[in-house]
Chain A
Amino acid sequence: MTRTIPLILGLAIAAVATIVLCTFIGPAGFGFVSTAPGAADIVGGIRLPRVLAAFFVGAGLAVAGAAMQSLFRNPMADPYILGTSSGGALGASLAIVFLGGFFIPIFAWIGAVVAILIVWSIAGRKGVISVETLLLTGIAVSFFFSAIVSFLIAIAGQNVHQILFWLMGGFWNASPTDAMLAAAILIPAGALLFFMGRDLNALSLGEETAAHLGIDATRARWTVLGASTLLVAGAVSIAGSIGFIGLVTPHIVRMLAGPDNRVVIPASILAGGIILVIADTLARTFFSDLPVGIITAFIGAPFFIWLIYQRGSTV
């Protein structure tokens, strides 16, 4: 408990510092004060919305991951691994192909909900969920949804580029509207999950345990599932599938502060934002605007394997 306040405070300062610094870094020039013509447009019109969008998306994915890990009673859960992101991507693809790109966030949300309900009904109903069952179910759902997306690409015609964009995950076209949409989802959903910290703690020991401790376990479960799919759907609509932020961030936070969700939730919001902003800045500055999903996967996948290897000692 004594480490909680310094940790949150430190992360908050780091988050502000990261946003400011990364707004002033880019292939077009470095430095806080630039007198070059067009500098203000690049910083305020392009970089700031992009940095903010990355921050809110990263925060949303990380907090969704933290909540899903408690709900599935499994530290390996993550929106990407459980197929929630591919569900969102499928929803978005359907909206692009059949609705000309309208209602992408809504369809992404429906896709994410369908995916998580399938995984929940197979792997999460009761008792202990083994990592194996959870991962296999997530992989199966991912493959199935990806197959449908591939089918859509095959028949999409001129929309192919737009769908491929979702699949790779990036912030090329992040607009001020995107940043605001991400914030509009993150602020209420994040606050909801924060105030459900105790419910999440109890749920992470089992739904029956939660019920015995006086928690409305069923309502808590649906609320958490609703909030996390909303966060994932928002992230997917803005930036496509970005993996491993939801897995890696809560882990780092738990290593620093322990598993109490009253700390893990706010700390994951801040840390997830910081990590994705840094990853995106690396992508656009040093890798000629490589999709940021590739960078998170480069770092996240080995981390995931290391976690499986380490499992059993300290999680």
Chain B
Amino acid sequence: MTKKTTLNADNLRAGYSMQEIVKSVSCSFTAGTFTGIIGPNGSGKTTLLRAFSRVLPSSGILELDGKPVAGFTPAELGMALGFVPQDEARPFSYTVMQVVLMARYARTSRFASLTPADYARCNAVLEETGIVHLKDQSIRALSGGEWQRVLIARALAQDTKVLLLDEPTSHLDLSHQSDALALMKGLAGTGSTIIGVFHDLNLAALYCDRLIMIKDGTLVADGTPAEVLTPEKIREVYGAEVVTARHPATGRTFLMPLSSRSCKTPARQGAPLRVLVVSGGGSGADLLHLLAGRGYDLSAGILATTDTDYGVAQALGIPSIPILPFSQITAHSLEKLRGMVARADRIILPAHPVSAGNLPVLFVLRETGAAKVIVHLPEGREFASYDFAKGVAAAAMTDLCSAGASCTSTYDGILAFLEQSDNNIPPQSE
């Protein structure tokens, strides 16, 4: 079954007096779908939406139900297409009901009164949006979120096949966000065409069937949320580092931002610096996240699969040497660690609990040139507090420092160590 195309744009261009914001966008929307328009600030999302609703003049083809939008009378358009703005000025104290009733103007002659059916429809919409208790309140007395729900209710009361939403949930709290979007999704389920501009990508991924990604007024991706929201596309369009995962409760794609990539990363021979983080017990999680955002070529050491650090390394796609929890470190794992240590330009050792079990790791570090190692010991802590090997571990850590390893109590200290010029990097041991 092919779904009916409602809104169709072909080579659509729109903008303001001196500047073209939407540059040749072609896309069509079918009945029964909820489409999200996403893109960075200033990419032209809202401009595109306003071109769709005809409040902004556009060139190119724009059709609604197969007919050119330009040919609709204002009233016909008001019955075919609803619009939820981000916000709207409230200079006069209309009641909520008066504002929602304005949705019925397009259907009523200026010489006739609104009918009981109009009032019934508006009451039903107030029920649906959960604001029936505000019915007789002055709109000037409403909170931003309540007002946004009134604007949604008014657009619903227009009873249009197509609904355009400009960040419809920007002022709403968590529960009202999901209420409003579930309502929209339900409308799409009954055959409406819903098109919304979204700032919150996860919200868009959660509710939209389809996402359209805009950059500099052109369409750069179009598909299901899983197809559009890839770390590569997000990096290209938003310039941000993210990781994607499946939402545990819905199975839908969701994004988690990493630290900004804006800082320059020191590169060695063109390639990013190879950094090994030898951690455990969650001591490396923040560090891995921080460094991944800065574009270092990371590896993690030997980690138990139940360790927080292991989960973080997995999520960030950082190689590590997994072992079963509470098991002895095998010779094979230690050999792999030696390889990692040899390949690394820099090694970070955040202080973490060391017992007889993971003591061999420290020995591996000690035998391979301590000069490229930096130890992170939080302010006010001593090596002894991490020692669960009767003093041997603390001694090994102290040895490491006296053998030439740097020592810092802050992440800034670690970053400074990583950003030292190439000249200071000791020759790699073979």
Contact = CB atoms under 8 A, between A and B. Distances in A.
B92 A259 contact: yes
B92 A213 contact: no
Given A128-B89, A206-B88, A211 B74 contact: yes
B98 interface: yes
Interface stretch (B105-113, B209-217, B237-245, B374-382): B105-113
A199 B53 CA distance: 18
Nearest to B84: A212
Interface in B107-143: 107-108, 110-111, 138, 140
B83 interface: yes
Interface stretch (A47-55, A109-117, A214-222, A227-235): A214-222
A213 B78 contact: yes
Nearest to B75: A214
Interface string B150-168: 0000110010000000000
Contacts of A288: none
A22 B88 CA distance: 45
Contacts of A202: 102, 105
A75 B79 CA distance: 30
B103 interface: yes
Contact of B102 (A128, A196, A213, A314): A213
B338 interface: no
B93 A213 contact: no
Interface string A228-271: 00000000000000000000000000100011100000000000
B18 interface: no
Given A212-B55, A259-B92, A195 B110 contact: yes
A289 interface: no
B99 A314 contact: no
Nearest to A261: B92
A178 B351 CA distance: 96
Nearest to B78: A214
B55 A215 contact: no
A196 B110 contact: yes
A121 to B, nearest CB: 13
A204 B93 CA distance: 11
Give the interface residue-count category, chain A.
20 to 34
Interface string A68-96: 00100111000000000000000000000
B89 A206 contact: yes
Nearest to B91: A73
Interface in A187-223: 195-199, 201-202, 204-206, 208-209, 211-217
A216 B77 CA distance: 10
Interface residues of B, number: 38
B95 interface: yes
A315 interface: yes
Contacts of A212: 53, 55, 78, 81-83, 85, 155
B238 to A, nearest CB: 28
A254 B91 CA distance: 12
A72 B410 CA distance: 58
Given A198-B102, A202-B105, A315 B85 contact: no
Contacts of A216: 73-75
Contacts of B140: 314-315
Given A196-B110, A314-B140, A211 B54 contact: yes
B398 to A, nearest CB: 66
A204 B53 contact: no
A215 B79 CA distance: 11
B106 A315 contact: no
A258 B78 CA distance: 25
B363 interface: no
B94 interface: yes
Given A212-B78, A214-B78, 17 more contacts: A205-B99, A206-B88, A209-B85, A211-B53, A213-B105, A213-B154, A214-B74, A214-B105, A214-B158, A216-B75, A258-B94, A259-B92, A259-B93, A259-B94, A260-B94, A314-B138, A315-B140
- Please provide the 5 A-B residue pairs with the shortest distance between their CB atoms, ordered closest to farther: A214-B78, A214-B106, A259-B92, A212-B83, A216-B74
Interface of B: 50, 53-55, 73-79, 81-83, 85, 88-95, 98-99, 102-103, 105-108, 110-111, 138, 140, 154-155, 158
Interface of A: 70, 73-75, 128, 195-199, 201-202, 204-206, 208-209, 211-217, 254, 258-260, 314-315
30 contacts: A73-B89, A73-B91, A75-B91, A75-B92, A195-B110, A198-B102, A198-B108, A201-B94, A201-B105, A202-B102, A205-B88, A206-B89, A208-B50, A208-B55, A211-B53, A212-B55, A212-B82, A213-B105, A213-B106, A214-B76, A214-B77, A214-B79, A214-B106, A215-B75, A216-B73, A216-B74, A259-B94, A314-B140, A315-B92, A315-B140
